[in-house]
């Protein structure tokens, strides 16, 4: 303490303390804030959403959870969300509150009770086609395959794929538009998975009318409904009012035809009576017939929304019935919101654990590398320092200089030859490449020697009298008395071995040799920010533990140079 207890109570000193505390707290805040942002981001299901950067709002706020829920369900894609609402102006990242029209839901329930829904009419929510995605159904699908096939080779044989691990399997990209689905074993197995294991509440129908109104018309005819009205002489108040009949309408037949023949997936398009006759005449495939030969009256859209509207008209005389997707989403959300909150909270971490820590030999490699590095540094350097400190040799200063001079070597000059040498010694892709070049450190030896010099000579003399050999003396006297400083050296070795990814990358390009950090780096190249944050936090845990438990030893082991 630089102040005595009496002066410490004076006003000026207290003021000084106050200032220091204020400054330190401010600094501490800037240390912690990026962490908070990182931790909060790592708990978000998807980083594209907007919200507070400091706290994942969905944990306490139901409307934020609702928004997150919809983002995950509609795969973060506004196009799909707009399709489900039939409205070009809704925004997935700022969704309207849940819908409440129970009459519509009742009608829909009645329809689904009497009409089984084919799986191909439904999109599987909570899944994504990105390769490194923590989406719930991506992982569920991977687990489903793992349970079914056991090992990845069996999966590859069965589905004709070439995956290296189950985590690489990505659900197929199935869309409302496009030229038909080419059924592969993988797509079939995904559809089977979705049919048997994904409950209805986690899917949504492919709504051709919704897509037509919300995405297609604004894009093709014009952003404003006025563009459409001007073109077709109608007086709709919004695109939501424009009908999408199953067969070609009289008004707006050209855009309807363009949408059905050029955009909509042919699986969703059937033929009318007249169409069937033309089809036989044309002698084309179903797809080509629709795209090139069909006349307006030949085609009938067979998506769920069209069938439902037709059924409602026929059965109840209700005109223009639409699938009550907002209400269905709200109901599904109410019954499962606790579940999704847990999923969003954990999914990034589960993903990182599965993708990195538990896979392959990453964990083992890291452990071996850290052990070799720490063990090696704690043996080679102290031994040399011990020899220099204990023995007066005529060459001592030359040897010290030999070690110290390496500090002056320009690192960029040696970088390339070190690499070439590792190659010549056939050390690339071995732990040797990662450990050997940095093991002996001239400066470290110099420092240790300086410290060993301060150990009282009497200790050695006493040990000699007890009949201790050289090794015992080194071990029991020198090393024993230098524990704190060795702890600092060990920590430095640990930090550099654990964090090294760049050299691991260059010197051991074989994935079988990669450490955790190399995998994390790889993940950072492809994954979203929230997954990256989760990976940073998970990999920081060992370092944090080491510091928390060893900080007192480390502080005692710091060597301070002082003038003699």
Q: Return the residues of window 435-464 that contact another protein according to CB under 8 A.
A: 436-440, 442, 445-447, 449-451, 453-454, 457, 460
Rg (CA), the chain: 35
Burial (Cβ within 10 Å: 0-12, 13-18, ≥19) of residue 323: buried
Q: Tell which positions 6-25 bind another protein, by CB under 8 A.
A: 7-8, 12-13, 16-17, 20-21, 23-24
Least distance in Å: CB of 169 to another protein?
7
Question: Site for another protein (CB under 8 A): how many residues?
Answer: 147
Q: Which of residues 464-483 bind another protein (CB under 8 A)?
A: 470, 474
Q: Which is nearer to another protein, 112 or 429 (CB)?
A: 429
Q: How far is the CB of 265 from another protein (least distance, A)?
A: 7
Say whether residue 544 binds another protein (CB under 8 A). Answer: yes
**CA dihedral over 350, 352, 356, 360, signed as positive or negative:** positive
Residue choice 65, 88, 122, 520 for contact with another protein (CB under 8 A): 520
CB 269 within 8 A of CB 300: yes
Among 428, 463, 476, 550, interactor with another protein by CB under 8 A: 428
Q: How far is the CB of 67 from another protein (least distance, A)?
A: 18
| Residue 135 or 501 having the CB closest to another protein | 501
Using CB under 8 A, which residues numbered 166 to 185 contact another protein? Answer: 168-170, 172-173, 177-180, 182
Rounded Cα distance between 157 and 301, Å, is 38
Establish if 291 lies at the interface with another protein (CB under 8 A): yes
- Find out whether 261 and 291 touch, Cβ atoms under 8 Å: yes
Query: Which residues contact residue 487 at a Cβ distance below 8 angstroms, ignoring those fewer than 6 apart?
Result: 550, 553, 554, 557
**Cα dihedral: 179, 185, 190, 192 (round 10):** 110
**Among the candidate windows 98-106, 235-243, 326-334, 533-541, which touches another protein by CB under 8 A?**
533-541
- Report DSSP letters for 73-137, one per residue: HTTT-HHHHHHHHT-TT--TTSPPPPP--HHHHHHHHHHHHHSPPPGGGEEE-S--S-TT---HH
Q: Judged by CB, which is closer to another protein: 7, or 334?
A: 7
What does the alpha-carbon distance between residue 456 and residue 478 come to, in Å, rounded to a whole number?
10
Residue numbers 75-114 binding another protein by CB under 8 A = none
Residue 167: which of 132, 129, 191, 125 has the closest Cα? Answer: 132
Q: Rounded to an integer, what distance in angstroms lies between the CA atom of residue 562 and that of residue 174? A: 71
How far apart CA 227 and CA 216 sit, in angstroms, is 13
The kind and range of the H/E element at 300 are: strand 299-301
Can residue 27 be called a binding residue for another protein (CB under 8 A)?
yes
- Minimum CB separation from another protein for residue 198, in Å? 19
Backbone phi and psi for residue 295, each to the nearest 5 degrees, phi listed first: -95, 160
Pick 339 or 397: Cβ nearer another protein: 397
Please identify, using beta-carbon distances, which residue of 18 and 277 lies nearer to another protein: 18
| Choices 57-65, 90-98, 269-277, 503-511 (CB under 8 A): range interacting with another protein | 503-511
To which H or E segment does residue 270 belong?
strand 269-271
* Identity of the residue, 133 or 347, whose beta carbon is nearer to another protein in the bound complex: 133
Between residues 161 and 229, which has the closer beta carbon with respect to another protein? 161
Q: How far apart are CA 307 and CA 317, in angstroms?
A: 14
* Least gap, CB of 331 to another protein (angstroms): 31
Segment interacting with another protein (CB under 8 A) among 163-171, 204-212, 238-246, 312-320 = 163-171
End-to-end CA distance of the chain: 25
Question: Which residue, 246 or 554, is less far from another protein as judged by CB?
Answer: 554
Q: Does 133 bind another protein (CB under 8 A)?
A: no
Binding-site member from 89, 103, 506, 549 for another protein (CB under 8 A): 506
Q: Using the rule CB under 8 A, is 146 a contact of another protein?
A: no
Give me the least distance between CB of 377 and another protein, in Å please: 11
Hey, which residues between 358 and 387 contact another protein (CB under 8 A)? 379-381, 383-384, 386-387
Q: How far is the CB of 150 from another protein (least distance, A)?
A: 20
Asked if residues 360 and 512 have their Cβ atoms less than 8 Å apart, the reply is yes
Residue of the chain from 403, 434, 531, 538 that contacts another protein (CB under 8 A): 403
Minimum distance from CB of 463 to another protein (Å)? 12
- Distance, CA of 135 to CA of 388 (rounded, Å): 60
Q: Among 257, 262, 121, 254, which residue's Cα sits nearest to residue 178?
A: 262
Q: Which stretch binds another protein (CB under 8 A): 108-116, 332-340, 347-355, 403-411?
A: 403-411
Closer residue to another protein in complex, CB, 331/495? 495
334, 297 in Cβ contact below 8 A?
Answer: no
Residue 204's SS3 state is strand
Segment contacting another protein by CB under 8 A, of 95-103, 315-323, 347-355, 430-438: 430-438
C-alpha 485/C-alpha 49 separation (Å) is: 48
Give the helix/strand (H/E) hosting 299: strand 299-301
Question: Considering all CA atoms of the chain, what is the largest pairwise distance in Å, rounded to the nearest integer?
Answer: 113
- Candidates 183, 315, 409, 456: give the one binding another protein (CB under 8 A): 409
Which of 197, 509, 512, 549 is in the footprint of another protein by CB under 8 A? Answer: 509
Beta-bridged to residue 158, according to DSSP, are none
Pick from 32, 154, 192, 253 the residue near another protein by CB under 8 A.
32
Tell me the closest approach of the beta carbon of residue 456 to another protein, in angstroms: 11
- Two tokens, residue 385: 């320092």
Asked if residue 555 binds another protein (CB under 8 A), the reply is yes
Distance CA 496, CA 44 (A): 31
Q: Tell me the sheet residues that pair with 204.
A: 123
Nearest distance from C-beta of residue 343 to another protein, angstroms: 23
Q: Which stretch binds another protein (CB under 8 A): 243-251, 308-316, 325-333, 501-509?
A: 501-509
């Amino acid at each position: 303490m630089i102040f005595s207890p009496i002066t410490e109570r004076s006003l000026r000193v207290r003021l000084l303390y106050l200032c220091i505390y204020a400054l330190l707290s401010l600094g501490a805040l800037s240390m912690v804030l990026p962490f908070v942002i990182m931790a909060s981001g790592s708990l978000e299901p998807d980083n594209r959403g907007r919200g507070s950067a400091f706290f994942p709002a969905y944990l306490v706020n139901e409307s934020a959870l609702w928004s997150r829920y919809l983002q995950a369900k509609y795969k973060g894609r506004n196009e799909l969300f707009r399709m489900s609402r039939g409205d070009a102006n809704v925004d997935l990242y700022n969704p309207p509150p849940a819908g409440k029209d129970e009459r519509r839901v009742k009608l829909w329930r009645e329809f689904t009770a009497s009409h089984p829904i084919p799986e191909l009419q439904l999109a599987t929510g909570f899944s994504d086609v990105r390769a490194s995605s923590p989406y719930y159904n991506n992982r569920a699908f991977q687990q489903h395959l793992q349970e079914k096939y056991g090992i990845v080779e069996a999966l590859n044989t069965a589905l004709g794929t070439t995956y290296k691990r189950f985590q690489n399997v990505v659900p197929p990209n199935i869309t409302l538009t496009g030229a038909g689905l080419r059924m592969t074993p993988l797509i079939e197995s995904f559809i089977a998975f979705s049919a048997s294991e994904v409950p209805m509440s986690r899917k949504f129908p492919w709504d051709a009318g919704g897509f037509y109104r919300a995405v297609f018309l604004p894009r093709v005819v014009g952003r404003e409904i006025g563009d459409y009205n001007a073109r077709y002489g109608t007086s709709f108040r919004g695109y939501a009012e424009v009908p999408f009949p199953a067969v070609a309408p009289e008004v707006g037949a050209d855009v309807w035809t363009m949408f059905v023949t050029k955009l909509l997936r042919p699986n969703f398009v059937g033929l009318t009576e007249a169409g069937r006759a033309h089809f036989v005449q044309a002698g084309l495939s179903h797809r080509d017939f629709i795209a090139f030969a069909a006349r307006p009256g030949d085609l009938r859209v067979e998506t769920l929304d069209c069938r439902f509207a037709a059924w409602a008209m026929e059965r109840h005389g209700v005109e223009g019935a639409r699938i009550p997707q907002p209400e269905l989403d709200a109901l599904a959300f109410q019954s499962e919101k606790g579940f999704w909150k847990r999923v969003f909270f954990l999914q990034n971490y589960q993903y990182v654990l599965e993708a990195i820590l538990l896979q392959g030999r990453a964990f083992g490699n890291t452990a071996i590398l850290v052990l070799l590095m720490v063990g090696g540094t704690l043996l080679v350097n102290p031994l040399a320092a011990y020899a220099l400190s204990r023995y007066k040799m005529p060459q001592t200063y030359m040897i010290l200089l030999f070690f110290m001079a390496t500090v002056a070597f320009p690192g960029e000059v040696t970088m390339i030859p070190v690499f070439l040498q590792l190659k010549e010694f056939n050390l690339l892709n071995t732990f040797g490449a990662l450990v050997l070049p940095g093991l002996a450190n001239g400066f470290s030896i110099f420092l240790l020697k300086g410290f060993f010099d301060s150990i009282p000579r009497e200790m050695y003399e006493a040990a000699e009298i007890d009949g201790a050999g050289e090794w015992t003396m080194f071990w029991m006297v020198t090393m024993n008395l230098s524990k704190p400083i060795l702890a600092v050296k060990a920590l430095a070795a640990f930090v550099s071995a654990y964090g090294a990814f760049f050299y691991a990358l260059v010197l051991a390009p074989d994935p079988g040799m990669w450490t955790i950090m190399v995998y994390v780096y790889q993940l950072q190249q492809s994954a979203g920010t929230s997954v990256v944050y989760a990976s940073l936090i998970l990999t920081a845990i060992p370092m944090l533990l080491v510091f928390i438990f060893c900080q007192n030893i480390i502080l005692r082991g710091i060597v301070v140079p002082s003038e003699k």
